[in-house]
Amino acid sequence: MTWSQRLSRWDVRSAPYLYIAPFFLLFALVGLFPLLYTGWVALNKWSLVTGDQGFIGLANFQYVLQQPRFWDAVTNTFSIFLLSSVPQIIAAIFIAAMLDANLRAKTFWRMGVLVPYVVAPVAVSLIFGQLFADESGVVNTILTSIGLDPIGWHSDRLWAHVAIATMVNFRWTGYNALIFLAAMQAIPRDIIEAAVVDGADRWRTFINVTIPQLRPTIIFVVITSTIGGLQIFDEPRMFDNFGLGGADREWMTVTMYLYELGWNTQRNLGRAAAVAWLLFVIIVVITLLNYAITRRIASSDAHPKRKAVAR
């Protein structure tokens, strides 16, 4: 082979790797290195004031796992995550179905559902904080006007989680709806038309045709919602004026507990880094479980169709 042929062959083989190299270099700089460095900090006695004070092994992890407040934060995080993610995904699918219909001013409505996502989390928290205020809140005012007892949004753990989950749903439902809308528009219209010709109404077409075609997108949204939901910080921190998660930490999440250890009270970066790594492990485990469950549901639904085709 001549030199030009060898150069051309090397270019063909190496060009794809060169194209994707900037992403991996950037990821190593701003993603992988901070992750590994946080793991090193978690193994040391590291103060925000005095810095590194020596290697202590897994002592930070042992301290965090022995704290009842950490487990309360984990419980609060999962409660808010379930109250927000499940209704959010269901509502996003139905909103996407309505946006996919023949509506007037489609662009206006599609831009409208994205407006809450553009609003700053602090502004959303301040507005909903007034709505869910204990004494003079809009919701409690309406309840008392119709003869019902007011709700202790900041004293009852469950209702505090419901209020925070409402903020999360307000911000992210429209964003996920646009993702589902893009997936719906990618479904071949021939499949939907065939179902209509076979006599299926709009509801049966939506359930038996559209939803199965959205399985990969649903898996993606579930995974991203899991990652974001377990890292929730802005909404619960801004739910009251103190930002501590309530008097008894009724709505303190894991990220808020991390902030409390690292910057607010103890200023112990080693323990805060241990919480960060524990949260990372929890997110990885829950994400893998979500992926396995959704893949299993998809494969189990596909087996009857294969058997029917074989017959």
Task: Report domain extents, the chain.
Answer: 58-310
CA–CA distances in Å: residue 279 to residues 61, 125, 231: 12, 24, 8
In this predicted model, what pLDDT tens digit does every residue of 110-143 receive, in sequence order? 888 888 888 888 888 888 888 898 877 889 999 8
Of these ranges, 62-76, 123-137, 282-296, the one predicted with the greatest mean pLDDT is 62-76
Band of pLDDT at residue 267, cut at 50, 70 and 90: confident
Band of pLDDT at residue 294, cut at 50, 70 and 90: confident
Give the model's pLDDT for residue 277. 94
Which residue from 229, 235, 253, 227 is spatially nearest to 119, judged by alpha carbons? 235
**Amino acid, res. 239:** F
Q: What is the mean pLDDT of residues 39-67?
A: 86
Give the model's pLDDT for residue 280. 92
In this predicted model, what pLDDT tens digit does every residue of 159-180 receive, in sequence order? 999 999 999 999 899 999 999 9
In this predicted model, what pLDDT tens digit does every residue of 14-31 receive, in sequence order? 888 888 889 989 988 988
Give the model's pLDDT for residue 308. 41
In this predicted model, what pLDDT tens digit does every residue of 185-223 receive, in sequence order? 888 888 888 888 888 788 888 888 888 888 889 888 988
What mean pLDDT value characterizes the chain? 85
Give the model's pLDDT for residue 301. 57
How much is the pTM? Answer: 0.83
Band of pLDDT at residue 307, cut at 50, 70 and 90: very low
Question: Which residues, at least 6 apart from 292, have a Cβ–Cβ distance to it below 8 Å?
Answer: none
Q: What is the mean pLDDT of residues 296-308?
A: 55
Q: Outline where the chain has alpha helix (H).
A: 3-27, 33-42, 59-65, 68-99, 106-112, 115-118, 121-131, 138-145, 157-185, 189-197, 202-205, 211-213, 215-230, 234-237, 254-259, 269-310
Three-class DSSP labels, 60-116 = HHHHHHCCHHHHHHHHHHHHHHHHHHHHHHHHHHHHHHHHCCCCCCHHHHHHHCCHH
- Highest CATH level, class, for 58-310: mainly alpha
